[in-house]
Chain A
Amino acid sequence: DTGVSQDPRHKITKRGQNVTFRCDPISEHNRLYWYRQTLGQGPEFLTYFQNEAQLEKSRLLSDRFSAERPKGSFSTLEIQRTEQGDSAMYLCASSVLQGRTEAFFGQGTRLTVV
């Protein structure tokens, strides 16, 4: 399977715990995006990377959120001290170039904070 892969698919955690999600983009894609989607809403942009450089972060990305893409390949999104409001689907996408080609999405990680 050469698509965008996300792990885990589902995560249930207690409030206050830290969680980390992983995204493996399509291998030749140098752009990687993180989005958050809550029920009944469209995806909201969180952050994106070009190779290993984090180029933009949304105001939605509080200090409890951090993302990395250390070698320009896979990326991790960590949420510290989780809150119930963090419950959502976290989507990862990758593309060759912004805008000129489509972004390919993974199946997402469903986070439930109890």
Chain B
Amino acid sequence: AQTVTQSQPEMSVQEAETVTLSCTYDTSESDYYLFWYKQPPSRQMILVIRQEAYKQQNATENRFSVNFQKAAKSFSLKISDSQLGDAAMYFCAYTGNTPLVFGKGTRLSVIA
């Protein structure tokens, strides 16, 4: 079964600085997708960024980018120029032939 591991329960970053959230996953599938979701205190999950496993180029969405290392099964999220509104739970998620599997999340605090 596919598993997703987020080893950082909590992280903090100074406003305007950069932070990297870690994620590793385990799978035997060759075709899959990876996601980072954000869950603010209001609890609605919002997609931050998506990476297709067959693409070697790392995905980028404005201040958010990923470092996808397929051989290492690693998928980290980098947030640049952190803003107060980035404070939230961040979940790494995997899907291949099964519905989304989530990690336990990383709580990100942004310090003004």
A→B interface (CB under 8 Å): 33, 35, 40-45, 48, 56, 89, 91, 93, 98-100, 102-108
Asked if B96 and A89 make an inter-chain contact with CB atoms under 8 angstroms apart, the answer reads: no
Chain B residue numbers with a CB within 8 Å of A89 are: 43
Question: B43: which of A44, A48, A103, A107 is its contact (CB, 8 Å)?
Answer: A107
Asked if B33 and A99 make an inter-chain contact with CB atoms under 8 angstroms apart, the answer reads: yes
Residue of B whose beta carbon sits closest to that of A34: B99
Chain B residue numbers with a CB within 8 Å of A91 are: 45
Which of B13-21, B65-73, B80-88, B102-110 is the interface stretch?
A: B102-110
**Per-position 1/0 for B1-38, Cβ under 8 A of A:** 00010100000000000000000000000001101010
CA distance A25 to B102 in the complex (A): 20
Chain B residue numbers with a CB within 8 Å of A99 are: 32-33, 95-97
Question: How many residues of B are counted as interface, with CB atoms below 8 angstroms from the partner's CB atoms?
Answer: 26
Known contacts A98-B95, A100-B33; decide if A45 and B100 are in contact (CB<8 Å): yes
Asked if B101 and A45 make an inter-chain contact with CB atoms under 8 angstroms apart, the answer reads: yes
Residue of A whose beta carbon sits closest to that of B9: A40
Sorted from nearest, which 10 A-B pairs have the closest CB atoms?
A42-B102, A105-B45, A102-B47, A99-B95, A107-B44, A99-B33, A42-B104, A43-B102, A42-B105, A45-B99
Question: Which of B46, B91, B98, B100 has the most chain A CB atoms inside 10 A of its CB?
Answer: B100
Asked if B44 and A106 make an inter-chain contact with CB atoms under 8 angstroms apart, the answer reads: yes
Chain A residue numbers with a CB within 8 Å of B98 are: 45, 56
CA distance A44 to B99 in the complex (A): 10
Asked if B33 and A108 make an inter-chain contact with CB atoms under 8 angstroms apart, the answer reads: no
Asked if A43 and B99 make an inter-chain contact with CB atoms under 8 angstroms apart, the answer reads: no
CA distance A71 to B9 in the complex (A): 40
